[in-house]
Structure 1
Amino acid sequence: MSEEQQRRARRAATGVRTAALWAAVKDLVTERAAALGRPLRVLDLGGGTGELAVPLAELGPDLVADVTVVDPSPDALAALGRRAAESGVQARVHGSQGDADTLADLLPERAFDLVCCHGVLEVVDDPTATLRVLADALADDGHLSLLVAGRLATVWARALAGEFGQAHTALTSPDGRWGAHDPLPRRFDLAQLRALVESAGLQVEHWHGVRLLADLVPSTAIDTDVERAALVALEEALAGHPAYPFLGELGAALHLLARRG
């Protein structure tokens, strides 16, 4: 496989891995903008280079008024600015350097209709405090989109790799880590995540597993659009099957939508 083919394969695999997540967020934005009769104000904590923020802004000013990205990395925020400019949405995408600890000082309370926190709760010092700050940033009836690393997927992956001791540690450790050299500070299971969100005063409305199979399938198996679409369809069927709700917990990530009452 040539270098260009490898790059295309990586991009395609990334698209498969994020398809279900993007569909859920996009549907929520569309529904809430219609319900409110105006475009949404969005906060993306830890949004980095704008992989979510820019596509959200690209949905158009009728759906998304603006997106504020808070991230600790100045390099990431610079890349965000370039990406937004290339997409022509720089007027509605704003970057601010900070993190969960400084969020309350950076932004007004009750300001946002949608707060996205994807891949952040695993690495913050205090997940409970972070969720409370995010809840305070939500307007009444505002929604939180929360994406976290799932515990059971790591148990499964370590076992398939023959690392049975690490798999057992990930299953039983309070933080979902497989050992001292695990690069991730924590992972979550669904019950734990629900409890954290509800303790912040938010009501869980929906959840689904993300990347149940995509991380396990070799890129050579999804070379074509037809193959990628088939994998996405299978993932959606598994994650949302009414007879097997537990399958969603096998996702490499858990995506939860919650509302401020």
Structure 2
Amino acid sequence: MSDLRPRASLRTAVVWEVLKDALDRRAKAAGHEAHGGQGVLDVLDTGGGSGNFAVPVAGLGHRVTVVDPSPNALFALERRAAEAGVADRVRGVQGDAHGLFDVVERGGYDVVLCHGVLEYVDDPAEGLGNAVAALRPGGVLSVLAAGLGGAVLARALAGHFKEARRALDDPDGRWGEGDPVPHRFTAEQLTALVGDAGLTVAAVHGVRVFADLVPGVLVDTEPGAMEALLKLEAAAAELPAFHSVATQLHVLGEARGTAEA
């Protein structure tokens, strides 16, 4: 992913590879149904911030609309898109998941990204429902959210055992009043949300299974460590046994129906 620095790629590589494959499949399907060949997709990135995913997606040739509540993030998005030469394919609008259809079209997108959103909305089911309602028939939803197990493990390894236990017992997975994340999810909870929203769960991946636990100095100084860790993350991502300790969880959902011509 050319838009990402090596260190950042540890946090996003798994999601990007899954997302890129999904975009390729959807583009081929849309192109075949419309006129043959590869289709250009309309992609919505809710909470897309400064374009960590939006700009590379646009680099694949797709049209991307980013919805984010932060004017500063949208300004950074505009600058990043210009630097990458994709400004004509990236549009930023100010808004949030709750009022999504105040700023974008309902049912107007082939692919919707909902990354780092469900943790912060008051009602995750409602937020996800809006993301699903933005999809065209046959569309794809990419959900990335904070994992409960990763937070519990991180607090325990830091010696904060009471906080780890509190997160484990808390309905929202919070370790205390100072916890900046309002909601965390297990893989079962997140897939249930996607399924209840009417989508078919196509894939589940654990993200940042090891990356947040390995000392940075080891990755930065040990020859070949970065590449080896990336391969380890990719190998563990699909194994259910590691979903329970991942810092983040990624779910790919597919809407029923076929693409519109």
* Residue 156 (structure 1) aligned to one of 153, 160, 170: 153
- Number of aligned pairs? 245
**Is 230-239 or 170-179 further displaced after alignment?**
230-239
Question: How far, CA to CA, are the matches of 1:87 and 1:13 in structure 2?
Answer: 20
Give identity over the alignment, percent: 51
Task: Give the Cα–Cα distance (whole angstroms) in 1 for the partners of residues 223 and 201 of structure 2.
Answer: 34
- Residue 54 (structure 2) aligns with: 53
Query: Aligned pair 1:237/2:235, yes or no?
Result: yes
Equivalences for residues 15-54 of structure 1 within 5 A: 15-37=9-31, 38-54=39-55
Task: Give the RMSD, CA atoms, in angstroms.
Answer: 1.4
Gaps of 5+ in 1: 1-9
1:70 aligned to 67, 70, 79, which one? Answer: 67
Aligned-partner Cα distance in 2 for 1:135–1:212: 27
Q: Deviations over 1:151-207 (max 9, x none)?
A: 001111111111111111111110000111111111011111122112211111101
| Structure 1: 4+ residue segments shifted above 3 A | none
**Cα deviation, residue 36, structure 1:** 1.8
- Equivalent position amino acid for 1:249 in 2: S
Alpha-carbon distance in structure 1 between the residues aligned to 2:223 and 2:199: 38
Matched AA of 1:122: E
- List aligned pairs for 1:91-240, cutoff 5 A: 91-223=88-220, 226-240=224-238
**Hey, what's the Cα distance between the residues in 1 that align with 2:93 and 2:139?**
21
Partner of 2:244, secondary structure, is helix
In 1, are the aligned partners of 2:204 and 2:238 still within 8 Å (CA)? no
Once residues 167 and 5 of structure 2 are traced to their aligned partners in structure 1, the CA distance between those partners, rounded to angstroms, is 29
* Structure 2: segments with no counterpart, 5+ residues: 32-38, 257-261
Alignment-mate amino acid for residue 159 of structure 1:
A
Q: Partner letter of residue 200 of structure 1?
A: A
Q: Is the 8 A contact 1:209 1:251 kept in 2?
A: yes
Partner of 2:34: none
Q: Equivalent residue for 1:258? A: 253
Q: Tell me if the contact between 1:47 and 1:69 (Cα under 8 Å) persists in the aligned partners.
A: yes
Q: Are the equivalent residues in 2 in contact too, given 1:170–1:176 (CA < 8 A)?
A: yes
CA distance in 2, matches of 1:222, 1:34: 38
The secondary structure found in structure 1 opposite 2:136 is: strand
Secondary structure of the 2:203 match is strand
Kindly state the Cα deviation for residue 248 of structure 1 after the two structures are TM-superposed: 2.2
CA shift at 1:228, angstroms?
1.1
Q: What TM-score do you get using the length of structure 1 for normalisation?
A: 0.90
Write the distance in 2 (CA, Å) between the matches of 1:225 and 1:71: 39
Question: What is the letter of the counterpart of residue 144 of structure 1?
Answer: L
| TM-score under structure 2 length normalisation | 0.90
Q: Give 1 or 2: higher helix fraction.
A: 1
Counterparts of 1:14 and 1:151 in 2: how far apart (Å)? 21
Q: CA deviation at 1:11?
A: 4.2
Contact 2:187-2:243 at 8 Å conserved across structures: no
* Residue 5 (structure 1) aligns with: none
Provide the rounded CA distance (Å) in 2 between the counterparts of 1:235 and 1:86.
Answer: 30
Give the whole-Å Cα distance in 1 for the aligned partners of 2:67 and 2:76: 13
SS of structure 2 residue aligned to 1:77: helix
CA distances 1:95-151 after superposition (whole Å, capped 9, x unpaired): 011001221122222110100011110001111111111111000010110000000
Partner Cα distance (1:132, 1:185) in 2: 19
How far apart, CA to CA, are the structure 2 residues paired with 1:200 and 1:237? 29
Cα distance, 1:12 vs. partner? Answer: 2.8
